[in-house]
Amino acid sequence: MCGILAVLGCVDNSQAKRSRIIELSRRLRHRGPDWSGLHCFEDCYLAHERLAIVDPTSGDQPLYNEDKTVAVTVNGEIYNHKALRENLKSHQFRTGSDCEVIAHLYEEHGEEFVDMLDGMFAFVLLDTRDKSFIAARDAIGITPLYIGWGLDGSVWFASEMKALSDDCEQFMCFPPGHIYSSKQGGLRRWYNPPWFSELVPSTPYDPLLVRSTFEKAVIKRLMTDVPFGVLLSGGLDSSLVASVALRHLEKSEAACQWGSKLHTFCIGLKGSPDLKAGREVADYLGTRHHELHFTVQDGIDAIEEVIYHVETYDVTTIRASTPMFLMSRKIKSLGVKMVLSGEGSDEIFGGYLYFHKAPNKKEFHEETCRKIKALHQYDCLRANKSTSAWGVEARVPFLDKEFINVAMSIDPEWKMIRPDLGRIEKWVLRNAFDDEKNPYLPKHILYRQKEQFSDGVGYSWIDGLKDHANKHVSDTMLMNASFVFPDNTPLTKEAYYYRTIFEKFFPKSAARATVPGGPSVACSTAKAVEWDAAWSQNLDPSGRAALGVHVSAYGEDKTEDSRPEKLQKLAEKTPAIV
């Protein structure tokens, strides 16, 4: 991941303004420590902090068309850039960068080219011939982008809020799947897939199609000229990413440079569920596994830095971002600059434990749609900014455009959790990779119960955070929270503690409004809380708040040993497709 900053139409174009742009761009240098670039044209500035993944030697930015009348600053990866170049043979390319196609596609097609891009991206493009500009963000919002407005009429874009919050009067999250056009004077949606309407689909479940589409998504993301690995918690999603990547690594271009031994990484408190499961999957696959440990105190000490980098006060996000932030630092120290990760599967397939309570397939499907639409505020934000804090790029194959279209077209009746039929959460995905002749994973891993990342690193992590917050936030402080924080009022001491840190770094009301709110149980949306009356009394984002569902739910007397036995019985009942 790189860092971009663009300021367009500012009144002041003095040397002092240029110095200010460089200073603000420097706030993003953790995202791109490899090189810095700045393009100035009259009252417009495009800045770039580069993390070199593809074509490290010549792909510095900003990038240009042939005569440099079109300049673009990009944060992202365009996986189909070679295919796009084939249709741009009349154009002259200067670099091997995957992002250079954007300038030439604009020349060829004008503003209507964004849907041709297959990848994750945020970019700002300046056409100096008429001083028009466009900015766009990928379909789901894997790559972060903010938009702001200055008092002088200038329009600002930045990868992170910290680069524009001080100089903009107003700012907000740039919505995923949108393009901003200076010619048309505002935002419009370029990404309009069938599932976006939330109408219930009726396509029959095709397990082999699910499998092949996901394998293609993983293969695309092996595009790299630097060392890479896979984040492996030992849960279903990360284990499938690792298994598929390993199967196809040997034939990839990456293997020619870095060999076919896959590196995997896992973090947790000593004795945590993820460490145990991650090691088991790594041993089964034969990866070069790196087991990383942290203590509760290590995490607590990093909280302020995490909130500064991740730019949120959402409780779930901070809980999960902290171990990921610590892990990314150790990954970077090993010389790895890119990782594959398993985000997005739970939203697409209804993998969170609260989906057990979905009353019917219509509500199930609508909730998955809501969850995907909100990913840019939660898991995408966490995965991107936690890793980018240390100059590491995270790629997420489950959020491939084609894979989402296939998965979201399936009749949701197949996704419903049906214990009577041996279907646990994400059965559609598990069944698609249940291959008896050439197994992707052992059965008990393939049918392991969902464990949220902040839980899986060790249950005492969340308990430790709550204890720490209780020491710093008094009952009186929480009682008066609605007066101190009238917008998005924190309801727990933990939430209050995170909010005070956030406000220290980002005091403006516009910053506050970039963070979502509302009641949630086990990561649900506010709407899904209505599915079970008991949940409204237990509003906690941990998976253990799914009372009556999670085998280690809060207040339920169930031992850890009961989990494998329960899931093994379900696995035995579930038919393989091959």
Please give the positions annotated as active site.
2
Backbone φ, ψ for residue 423 (5° rounding): -105, 110
Cβ atoms of 50 and 28 within 8 Å: the answer is no
d(CA 103, CA 100): 6
Helix (H, G, I), strand (E, B) or coil at 379: helix
Burial of 444 (0-12, 13-18, 19+ CB in 10 A): middle
Instruction: With CA atoms as reference, report the closest residue to 489 among 313, 368, 344.
Output: 313
Report the C-alpha gap between 304 and 389 in whole angstroms: 13
Residues 6+ apart with CB under 8 A from 397: 214, 217, 218, 220, 221, 241, 244, 340, 403
Sign, CA dihedral 412-527-370-111, equals: positive
DSSP class of residue 280? H
In eight-state DSSP terms, residue 202 is -
Residue in 240, 288, 297, 244 with CA at minimum distance from that of residue 266? 288
Q: Cα-flanking dihedrals φ and ψ of residue 38, to 5°?
A: -145, 125
- Would the CA dihedral through 55, 344, 262, 51 be positive or negative? positive
Which structure tokens are listed for 235?
A: 């849960």
State the maximum Cα–Cα separation within the chain, in Å, rounded to a whole number. 71
Whether 349 contacts 428, CB under 8 Å = yes
d(CA 323, CA 266): 10
Contact 436, 578 (CB under 8 A): yes
DSSP string, 136-151: EE-SS--S--EEEE-T
Residue 61 near residue 73 (C-beta atoms within 8 A): yes
Q: Identify whether the C-beta of residue 161 lies closer than 8 Å to the C-beta of residue 311.
A: yes
